[in-house]
Amino acid sequence: EHYGTPRGAACYSSTDLYNWKNEGVVMEKGTIETFERPKVIYDEINRKYVMWFHYDGNGYTLAELGVAVSDNPRGPFILKDHYRPNGHESRDIGLYVDPETRTAYIGYAADHTNRTVRMVELSADYMRTTSNDVDIQAHCEGPGILKKNGVFYLLTSQCSGWTPNPGTFYTASNIMGPFASHGSPFIGDAGNNSYNSQPCYIFKIPGYKDAYLYMGDRWNGSGRSASQYVFLPITITADSTMEIHWYKEWDLSFFTPERKRPAR
């Protein structure tokens, strides 16, 4: 929530990805000096919503993960812990649940001020990081993750503060890497800056086949008020290439609805 004095994480809800309702601040940051990149997953077993975020001080030198929990996506989320995972610096994060195993992972911009990206597996209740934590041979910030046909795709930005730069996508057959680099997925990106955005998250749109949504932050200067989101469809081609094309306007008819099971 960056309007006025930042208060923490705001939640917006939608049933169609076009119309959004402001649900208000769901986690107050209180005395946390820097609260960035919150992401929430649902633990179906314990029926908890678990939020992970970048917990830091004003100088970005604490470099920790924060974890908070709520019974409701509309909050309130209560801070449970904050620390460096297995002793590693952690700043931008991508939170990902493997749709087949329901195991959750955090990809995080890590040591030497974001010179590495690490992947850490979470505990079964999504509340703790485990010791399965490796350098995945990828680089930089804003990690977003998807999986298609057994291949994991990782999208990151480079490291240039709040200024947009060309993104890079990586592929691996194991989420713990190593990931191979394939350059920018942004096709015809005249400004060479990911269409003036930075990867924030990749969302699998339910109800549509292979429907992955690129969610990018279009920071406003230093990332304060009036920053915007850029939403674009992600295409994975037959030869396992990630492509993100620019559309001034588009809608969900871009994707193929998943066929409903016939009623018996």
Residue 90 is a binding residue for ligand DGJ (CB under 6 A):
no
Q: Does residue 37 bind ligand DGJ (CB under 6 A)?
A: yes
Residue 161 contacts ligand DGJ per CB under 6 A: yes
Q: Does 36 bind ligand DGJ (CB under 6 A)?
A: yes
Tell whether residue 158 is a contact of ligand DGJ (CB under 6 A): no
* Residue 141 in the binding site for ligand DGJ (CB under 6 A): yes
Count of residues that bind ligand DGJ according to CB under 6 A: 9
Residue of 108, 198, 212, 233 that binds ligand DGJ (CB under 6 A): 198
Q: Looking at beta carbons only, is 196 or 235 nearer to ligand DGJ?
A: 196
- Using the rule CB under 6 A, is 92 a contact of ligand DGJ? yes
Q: Is 207 in the site for ligand DGJ (CB under 6 A)?
A: no
139 lies in the site for ligand DGJ, by CB under 6 A: no
Site membership for ligand DGJ, residue 29 (CB under 6 A)? no
Q: Binding residue for ligand DGJ (CB under 6 A) from 142, 164, 167, 216?
A: 142
Distance in angstroms (rounded) separating the CA atoms of residues 91 and 82: 12
Contact in structure between 95 and 52 (CB atoms under 8 Å): yes
Q: Which two tokens stand for residue 55?
A: 């917990």
Which one of 12, 20, 42, 162 is in contact with ligand DGJ (CB under 6 A)? Answer: 162
Q: Kindly identify the residues of this chain, within the stretch 93-112, that bind ligand DGJ according to CB under 6 A.
A: none
CB closer to ligand DGJ, 36 vs 89: 36
Q: Give yes or no for residue 250 binding ligand DGJ (CB under 6 A).
A: no
Residues of this chain that bind ligand DGJ (CB under 6 A): 36-37, 91-92, 141-142, 161-162, 198
